[in-house]
Amino acid sequence: MVETYLKSAKRLDGKPLSQQSRRTRLTQFKMFFKWCMSPKRKWITENPCDGLSFTVDRGEVQTLANENIARLLDAAWNDTDTCRRRFCGRDYALPGIVLSLFAGLRPWSEAAKMYWEDIDWNLINPNRSLTIKVHKSKTRFHYAELHPTGIEWLKLCAKKKGPIKTHENALERVREKVGLGPGNWASIRPRPGECGACPLVWCSSTRAARCA
């Protein structure tokens, strides 16, 4: 029953769930049924989720040119529609995109676990990058450098406190707006030498990134 549901479940917009979403829901189901099996309850004797698993296919890495990165950022910034329970791209996609492209963070295991309080805007390096503390777990962390252009983008959508939220629906909607289509965000990377050695340049007059 659980396996059938996970394979046929759809998002609010009618599209099938991604493998990552299926795996997340499976984990939640396992925890619930384990709770039902506890000695205090004993409502069930077996966990129906035992033996079930969903793997996430990374797929082929898709590299982006500076022009496409600029379009992706602009699409996320301009996606502000919150009607019908939609998660707007400016709040739920842009921060994760910026941290992934300009600091090299993994979107789900690193960027999505950060809090705005983790960012000290005063830790500017001589090369004008920003040092940010990235938590791997409660006791493990490492440091990453956010490129100057990424700093300006992140300031546009920054909050005073709380988690830096990333939502799968918002990410996929922004991708589709620039013609990338749905897929695993982890498979998108800048082309070698771009967004790094030869990055986008921030244009303060238009509050946007343009190609160097």
How is 3-67 classified by DSSP, letter by letter?
HHHHHH-B-TTSPBPPHHHHHHHHHHHHHHHHHHTSTTT-S-SS-TTTT---PPP--S-EEE-HH
Q: What is the pLDDT of residue 133?
A: 81
Contact 62, 191 (CB under 8 A): no
* Torsion angle, alpha carbons of 155, 69, 93, 106, to 10: -90
CATH entry 1.10.443 includes domain 62-210: yes
State the CB neighbour count (10 A cutoff) for residue 176. Answer: 13
Strand, helix or coil for residue 142: strand
Place of tokens 């695993």: 184
Residue 75 contacts residue 177 (beta carbons within 8 Å): yes
Other Cβ atoms closer than 10 A to 25: 16
Specify the domain boundaries for CATH 1.10.443 within the chain: 62-210
Buried b (16+ CB within 10 A) or exposed e, 97-123: bbbbbbbbbbbbebbbbbebeebeeee
pLDDT at residue number 184: 47
Per-residue pLDDT of the chain (212 residues; tens, 9 = 90+): 788 888 788 887 787 777 777 877 888 888 888 899 988 888 999 888 888 876 655 554 556 777 888 888 999 999 887 665 578 889 988 999 999 888 888 777 788 888 898 888 888 888 888 888 887 666 777 888 898 888 999 998 888 889 888 888 888 888 888 887 655 454 444 544 444 433 444 444 444 444 44
For residue 6, give every residue at least 6 positions away whose Cβ sits within 8 Å of its Cβ, in sequence order, or none: 17, 22, 25, 26, 52, 54
Please count the residues of the chain: 212
| Structure confidence at residue 18 (pLDDT) | 76
At 200, is the secondary structure helix, strand, or coil? coil
Q: Give start and end residues of each alpha helix (H) in 79-147.
A: 89-92, 94-103
